[in-house]
């Protein structure tokens, strides 16, 4: 099981790292390729747009290819995209094109990781396992944030992308060498439509849309207000560490205590993350930047592990295909929010842009609260 968890985390880190590196290194890339907040938003949007398009068919492909081949394919695509950005990108357009290609890895990475956990982790430990797996996102932002003061300022942003691509070697070693059971010829995983699925997709779209803006724009926002790029990187690192802890604790709590409903935990985390965006909207000191990042990354990103756990348990007969469907809401939010944020930041202010992200997070919490109320009402009938 430890090897399975490591492989699941690595494939997601590789799939997500390209977009986080673009956000963290945007200040450095701008000097060479002419980045602006609007262009950063468009580039990030391209990545999530491809992720959304690939998500549903990607889940079905994973069910057919099996865990090992799917993970290695996703990892190779992500590594190839980072190598291309580091070695061949000559304009912001090519960064967008290569990052969009990396979106294919993201569309396949989530379903393959979820499938690996469902087939190897006991039910009693799934919450903790999904918490560990979903910590890969904060780990990726931690790596991207640390790249600013550690690598980019000394070796350059291109060397950072090339170095990050080397994670594929670790993935190829970690992926379990097992032969997956192939589905019967001519069959397809069937994903049932359940009541409340659309509102839950709205919740994930709002929450993910808000979360996608933080790693993409935090460093740029700090520099815009006169701070050093290194401070933005430190803020991302601090927030990412908190996010890892929150996801692990949330998963462990779901496994060990029936008093904490996962859905209500999602409400609390999204609402707290929205407050963090409010702090970033007015931040002007290192303490405020780091505190806001810790709230945004920690609480605003604390819900995905519990969310994936619920989906995988509900669709245990075809978890990869089901993940492909439910992740579409996540990707749509991540597609639409960054361009709006970039426009607000460039033509209005970063205060308005961070307030927009906070509104999304709060909206997700309110919709989730209505979903809980609707479920409670139907259970009494």
Task: Grade residue 187 by pLDDT with cuts at 50, 70 and 90.
Answer: very low
- Distance, CA of 375 to CA of 381 (rounded, Å): 10
Task: Grade residue 340 by pLDDT with cuts at 50, 70 and 90.
Answer: very high
Q: Is 160 exposed, middle or buried (0-12, 13-18, 19+ CB in 10 A)?
A: buried
226: left (phi over 0), alpha (psi -120 to 50) or beta: left
Comparing 355 with 265, which gets the higher pLDDT? 355
Tell me: the pLDDT tens digits for 249-285?
Answer: 887 887 776 666 777 888 889 999 999 999 999 998 9
Tell me: the pLDDT tens digits for 35-50?
Answer: 777 888 888 888 988 9
Give the best-scoring range by mean pLDDT among 97-111, 115-129, 193-207. 97-111
DSSP label at 315? T
Tell me: the pLDDT tens digits for 76-108?
Answer: 999 999 999 999 998 888 999 999 999 999 888
pLDDT score at 215: 82
Is residue 42 within 8 Å of residue 165, measured between CB atoms?
A: no
- Distance, CA of 147 to CA of 143 (rounded, Å): 6
Q: Is 257 exposed, middle or buried (0-12, 13-18, 19+ CB in 10 A)?
A: exposed
Task: For 277, list phi and psi in degrees, rounded to 5.
Answer: -65, -35
């Amino acid at each position: 099981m430890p090897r399975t968890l490591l492989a699941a985390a690595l494939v997601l880190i590789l799939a997500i790292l390209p977009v986080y590196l673009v956000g963290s290194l945007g200040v450095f890339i701008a000097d060479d390729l002419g980045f602006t907040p609007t262009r950063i938003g468009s580039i990030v949007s391209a990545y999530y747009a491809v992720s959304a398009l690939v998500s549903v068919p990607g889940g079905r492909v994973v069910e057919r290819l099996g865990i090992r081949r799917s993970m290695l394919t996703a990892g190779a695509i992500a590594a190839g995209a980072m190598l291309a950005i580091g070695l061949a990108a000559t304009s912001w357009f090519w960064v967008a094109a290569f990052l969009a290609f990396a979106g294919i890895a993201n569309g396949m990475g989530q379903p393959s990781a979820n499938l690996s956990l469902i087939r190897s982790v006991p039910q009693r430990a799934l919450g903790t396992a999904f918490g560990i797996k979903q910590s890969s996102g904060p780990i990726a932002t931690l790596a991207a944030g640390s790249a600013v003061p550690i690598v980019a300022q000394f070796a350059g942003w291109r060397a950072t992308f090339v170095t990050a691509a080397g994670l594929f070697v670790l993935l190829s070693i970690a992926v379990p060498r097992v032969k997956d059971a192939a589905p019967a010829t001519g069959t397809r995983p069937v994903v049932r439509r359940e009541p409340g699925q659309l509102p839950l997709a709205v919740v994930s779209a709002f929450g993910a849309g808000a979360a996608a803006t933080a790693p993409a724009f935090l460093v740029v926002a700090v520099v815009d207000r006169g701070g050093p790029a290194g401070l933005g990187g430190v803020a991302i690192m601090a927030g990412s560490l908190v996010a890892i802890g929150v996801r692990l604790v949330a998963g462990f709590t779901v496994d060990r205590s029936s008093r904490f409903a996962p859905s209500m935990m999602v409400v609390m985390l999204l609402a707290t993350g929205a407050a963090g965006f409010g702090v970033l909207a007015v931040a002007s000191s290192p303490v405020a930047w780091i505190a806001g990042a810790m709230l945004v990354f920690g609480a605003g990103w604390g819900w995905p592990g519990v969310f994936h756990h619920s989906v995988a348990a509900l669709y245990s007969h075809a978890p990869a295909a089901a993940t492909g469907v439910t992740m579409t809401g996540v990707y749509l939010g991540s597609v639409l929010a960054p361009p709006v944020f970039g426009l607000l930041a460039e033509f209005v202010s970063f205060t308005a842009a961070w307030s927009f992200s906070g509104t999304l997070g709060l909206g997700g919490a309110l919709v989730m609260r209505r979903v809980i109320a609707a479920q409670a009402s139907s259970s009494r009938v």
